[in-house]
Amino acid sequence: MKRLDKELRVMVVDGLGGPMTRRGFIKRAGAAGLLVGASGFLAACGGGETTTTTAAGGGGGELAKELYFYNWSDYIAEETIPTFQDEFGVKVVYDNYSSNDTLLAKLQSGATGYDIIVPTDYMITTMLGLDLLQEIDLANVPNVANLYQRFREAPFDPGNKYSIPWQWGTTGIGYNSVKVPDFKPSWDMLWDEKYKGKITMMNEIRDVFAVALFRLGYSPNTIDPKEIEEAKQMLIAQKPVLKHYTSDTYIDELASEDSWLSHGWSGDVLQAQMENEAVLYAVPEEGSLTWVDCMCIPKGAPSKYTAEVFMNYIQQPEVAAGITNYVYYASPNEKAEEFILPEILDDPQIYPPQEVMDKLTFLEELGTDTELYNAAYQELRAS
């Protein structure tokens, strides 16, 4: 669930001299750690000098010349893709999207050609129901064993048959501690008229309704039409104080102080904090969401085996840690802890303490009842 600016909508990375975003300069040192051990992984895979290779523990196959990767924007370390390209001789074509709804719509429209996509947990269930994903050959992804056990037994995909976790985090409030001196860890802050025009909400249907439902004391997974209607009315009442709904500009707005209170994802807010030290992040006391984004292989992917080799590469502890050190989201890879920067591992905004974890909830796939939220959101935005 990482969404930053859209400086590069489509990118073909040709090496370490490839495009650099503003994040690349800031966190180059942290990301550099992922280079350690990549050569060892290559050796285990049989080398990158030919087009035929064997993933460690797998049955082998022919690597494609190109891998098409559709991911949230700026959700990867600067060196991750160039190092993979250099070691395996596979060019990665990197395309970005800004919401799960955009990703789903693209796949449903018949778009083919992507080898790896990165949907959020509940969306995986939706995609499975629509027969949009294909099963992963875990013989080609033995590094899945490096994951925390809770990510091997996730309710949306037990056993990782269709998904390999990428990063995880929480949803909460990013705020400017100077401009909002009376901040309290409550969703109520996003309705405070004192900050009219300085508040943003994400453009994500379920996430937006979850805020109002938590505030009302209801489950974010309710299918009670009366509760959803009550949440909609609460969100309509909020609209006069909002700057706008956005999932892809609020980081820059927080950093530049164009907004002071933002409904957002943990790692995004922490990236804004790197540019403006007044920015802080909090999980509201009423409860909030936790989520995990996962790599999946869509039906019709032209290079399934190459996608599995890439997934295995990502789950190398050093590689996984390098991504976390760059994007400031928590890693699902337990073995990566050794290589993650101490200030990240020890930051409760990234790795919450148990008392916060106890208040977190996964969004659940609701089947046809999802339409209750879709219709209510359309009415909200039209109001």
Domains defined for the chain, CATH in brackets: 10-168+291-345 (3.40.190.10), 170-290+352-382 (3.40.190.10)
What pLDDT was estimated at residue 53? 46
What pLDDT was estimated at residue 159? 95
What pLDDT was estimated at residue 6? 30
Mean pLDDT of the chain: 86
Summarised one tens digit per residue, pLDDT across range 231-250 is 999 999 999 999 999 988 99
What span, in angstroms and rounded, lies between the C-alpha atoms of 24 and 30? 10
Summarised one tens digit per residue, pLDDT across range 352-379 is 999 999 999 988 888 899 999 999 999 9
Name the residue with higher pLDDT: 37 or 235. 235
Of the pLDDT bands very low, low, confident and very high (cuts 50, 70, 90), residue 59 is low
What span, in angstroms and rounded, lies between the C-alpha atoms of 116 and 156? 18
Instruction: Tell me: pLDDT of 41 over 50.
Output: no
What pLDDT was estimated at residue 60? 65
The half-sphere exposure of 373 on its side-chain side, counting CA atoms within 13 A, is 22
DSSP state at residue 147:
B
What span, in angstroms and rounded, lies between the C-alpha atoms of 189 and 211? 11
What pLDDT was estimated at residue 61? 82
Amino acid in the structure at residue 94:
Y
| Contact in structure between 213 and 364 (CB atoms under 8 Å) | no
Instruction: Tell me: pLDDT of 175 over 70.
Output: yes
| Contact in structure between 81 and 11 (CB atoms under 8 Å) | no
End-to-end CA distance of the chain: 27
| Contact in structure between 72 and 88 (CB atoms under 8 Å) | no
Q: Span 152-178, mean pLDDT?
A: 95
